[in-house]
Amino acid sequence: MTDKTMTADEVVARLWSGMTLGIGGWGSRRKPMALVRALLRSPVTDLTVISCGGPDVGLLAAAGRIARLVTPFVTLDSIPLEPRYRAARERGSFALTEIDEAMFLWGLHAAANRLPFLPVRAGIGSDVMRVNPELRTVVSPYADGEEFVAAPALRMDAALVHLNRADRLGNAQYLGPDPYFDDLFCEAADAAYVSCERLVDGFAGAVPQTLLVSRVSVTGVVETPNGAHFTSCAPDHGRDEIFQTMYATTPWEEFAERFLHGDEESYQEAVQIWHEERS
Amino acid sequence: MTVVTRAEYCVIACAEAWRDNGEVLASPMGPIPSLGARLARLTFSPDLLLTDGEALLVDADGGLEGWLPYRRHLTMVTGGRRHVMMGASQLDRHGNQNISCIGPWEQPARQLLGVRGAPSNTLNNPVSYWIPRHSPRVFVERVDMVCGVGYDRAAAAGPSATRFHRIPRVVSDLGVFDFDTPDRSMRLVSLHPGVTVARVREATGFELTAGADTPFTRPPTATELRLIRETLDPDGVRDRHVGAA
């Protein structure tokens, strides 16, 4: 059996500038933040990012790594608007493909199923059609004759996701209330990298429905405890709300200087020190 | 019983959006619609489904009754067994809604959330809106980016857009509105007590249909008032989420 374990830096060494990169999680929930931080340490740039956006998008946008973003929204959840993303958009820093959530979900399904598109009853009538002039509609060949948007497949070169547990082969488990779309991201990508809170020797005794990601769609596995920080990763840890608030309100250079200059270990250490200073 | 506050009228007006909806998911976005949905569930619409705001369906006491992660929530949208009450940064006279950005989309003056699920919501299940601070900045002649589809845009897009399209009501801190006019433009349905038609017109950036004898929003019953004040919102969170009258 193939042992797929690797480090976050080894994952990033397999990424390249100009690629299309999917990022799992949702808003400020179970984002593969340690992998995003590793990406920030690398020279990889000019990315097309596909994400239900949260601080993953904020960090990459602030660091100027995004050429195009494909998303239905960007939010920090408890802070509705992502300030780094907003600032970058208001500077006109990158191109945007803004699509509806259903178009996003069915775009992932289309990619995972090797279909060019799937029809959705969403988009027509809205300005999603105006801002994405490449979008096309399809007419039902049946008696109803209805017109739908052909949500294009969101095929990606690589996907990054974070789950609660994984084995060395790439099987991965979520333990929180929501799988988000992480399995679909892995299936829609040519290569998928799963970071996890804890590596396990197998899933004997696990509730089988929690085994979200199959090794067949996984290229690499990284153990990164607290690797979703500062987003939530229930039930291992909740969102670090006060840290997120600090992230959202501290000037970018200052935040990057203090937290993003070193490796993941020094990030986690800097976070701990920041919390100790506050108490 | 003490005087009913503006926030309490808003909660009642939001709750009324889900009257006679039967067994559908009530999806309130924001604290006032949430209080309204839970009040409706506890009183006149007991079959409503509610979530915990994340992936769980919960009963009136917050007890678990089902699982609704995002991917299944989207099927609830397209399956139509849902009535959402969304917010709006801009809303126009035909009910087009914007939560994406202010100014030119290519490089906005203010980037907001993004379209989220507004395009599919509006084409698939009833969508009402809650506006906590009624002003000409929100109620505009034309929105900068159509996220939620209004009646004119749905009609222009054809039968597959209009098939399930419906905007039952808009609730603001000043009154209740709908689109039950010949040209499907916004109409004042009721004023919250203390508000005048002139005040609403002044706060609305487009021509609003309003009768001379507009009624007032109904007051809560004694039971409803007790539920709001003692059961649902004993800390008075509602008062912090309604614009100053």
Minimal C-alpha gap between B102 and chain A (Å): 10
C-alpha–C-alpha distance, residues B224 and A183, integer Å: 44
C-alpha–C-alpha distance, residues B69 and B54, integer Å: 7
Closest partner CB to B115 (pick from A100, A146, A147): A100
The token duo for A189 is 């990508």
Angle at CA A10, nearest 5°, toward A8 and A13?
Answer: 115
Mutation for testing the A interface, residue in B71, B73, B147 having most A CBs under 10 Å: B71
CB A39 within 8 A of CB A12: yes
| pLDDT value at B245 more than 90 | no
Mutation for testing the A interface, residue in B160, B164, B184 having most A CBs under 10 Å: B160
CB A66 within 8 A of CB A99: no
Rg (CA), chain A: 19
CB B118 within 8 A of CB B60: no
Q: What is the pLDDT of residue A267?
A: 98
Mutation for testing the A interface, residue in B123, B125, B149, B165 having most A CBs under 10 Å: B123
Sheet (strand A147-152) strand order: A117-120, A147-152, A137-139
B145 C-beta neighbours (distance < 10 Å), count? 27
Q: Is the ipTM of this complex over 0.85?
A: yes
Strand partners for B141: none
| Confidence tier at B244 by pLDDT (50, 70, 90) | low
Minimal C-alpha gap between A32 and chain B (Å): 18
Q: Do A73 and B69 touch (CB under 8 A)?
A: no
Tell me the per-residue pLDDT of B86-135, one tens digit each, with 9 for 90 and over: 999 999 999 999 999 999 999 999 999 999 999 999 999 999 999 999 99
Torsions phi, psi for B57 (to 5 deg): -90, 130
Alpha carbon dihedral A130, B132, B87, A73, in 10-degree steps, equals 80
Strand partners for A147: A139
Q: Do A92 and B109 touch (CB under 8 A)?
A: no
| pLDDT value at B1 more than 60 | no
CB A230 within 8 A of CB A55: yes
C-alpha–C-alpha distance, residues B129 and B23, integer Å: 20
Q: What is the pLDDT of residue B188?
A: 98
Give the torsion sign (CA, B12, B13, B19, B23). Answer: negative
Minimal C-alpha gap between B222 and chain A (Å): 34
Tell me the per-residue pLDDT of B193-219, one tens digit each, with 9 for 90 and over: 999 999 999 999 999 999 879 999 999
Torsions phi, psi for B96 (to 5 deg): -70, 140
* Cα A142 → chain centroid: 37
C-alpha–C-alpha distance, residues A267 and A56, integer Å: 15
CB A103 within 8 A of CB B114: no
Q: How high does pLDDT run on average in chain B?
A: 96
Per-residue pLDDT tens listing for chain A (279 residues): 899 999 999 999 999 999 999 999 999 999 999 999 999 999 999 999 999 999 999 999 999 999 999 999 999 999 999 999 999 999 999 999 999 999 999 999 999 999 999 999 999 999 999 999 999 999 999 999 999 999 999 999 999 999 999 999 999 999 999 999 999 999 999 999 999 999 999 999 999 999 999 999 999 999 999 999 999 999 999 999 999 999 999 999 999 999 999 999 999 999 999 999 998
C-alpha–C-alpha distance, residues B58 and A91, integer Å: 42
Report chain A residues whose CB lies below 8 A from the CB of B70: 26, 101, 105, 178, 180-181
Q: Is the CB of residue A81 less than 8 Å away from at least one CB of chain B?
A: yes
The token duo for A272 is 């701990």
Torsions phi, psi for A223 (to 5 deg): -90, 115
CA distances from B241 to A221, B88, B172, B174 (A): 45, 14, 11, 13
**Cis peptide, bond prior to residue A235, ω within 30 of zero:** yes
C-alpha–C-alpha distance, residues B245 and B214, integer Å: 19
Q: What is the pLDDT of residue A1?
A: 84
The H or E element that residue A194 is part of is strand A189-199
C-alpha–C-alpha distance, residues A17 and A187, integer Å: 22
Report chain A residues whose CB lies below 8 A from the CB of B101: 89
Contacts of residues B51-59 at CB distance under 8 Å and 24 or more positions apart, as own/partner, are B51/B25, B51/B27, B54/A177, B54/A178, B55/A177, B55/A178, B56/A177, B57/B25
When pLDDT is averaged across residues B158-172 and rounded to a whole number, the result is: 98
C-alpha–C-alpha distance, residues A166 and A144, integer Å: 46
Alpha carbon dihedral B127, B131, B137, B142, in 10-degree steps, equals 10
Report chain A residues whose CB lies below 8 A from the CB of B156: 125
Torsions phi, psi for B140 (to 5 deg): -110, 160
Q: What is the pLDDT of residue B211?
A: 82
Q: Do A122 and B100 touch (CB under 8 A)?
A: no
Minimal C-alpha gap between A157 and chain B (Å): 23
Closest partner CB to A102 (pick from B78, B106, B113): B78
Q: Do A122 and B119 touch (CB under 8 A)?
A: yes
Half-sphere exposure of B120 (CA within 13 A, CB side): 26
Q: Is the CB of residue B105 less than 8 Å away from at least one CB of chain A?
A: yes
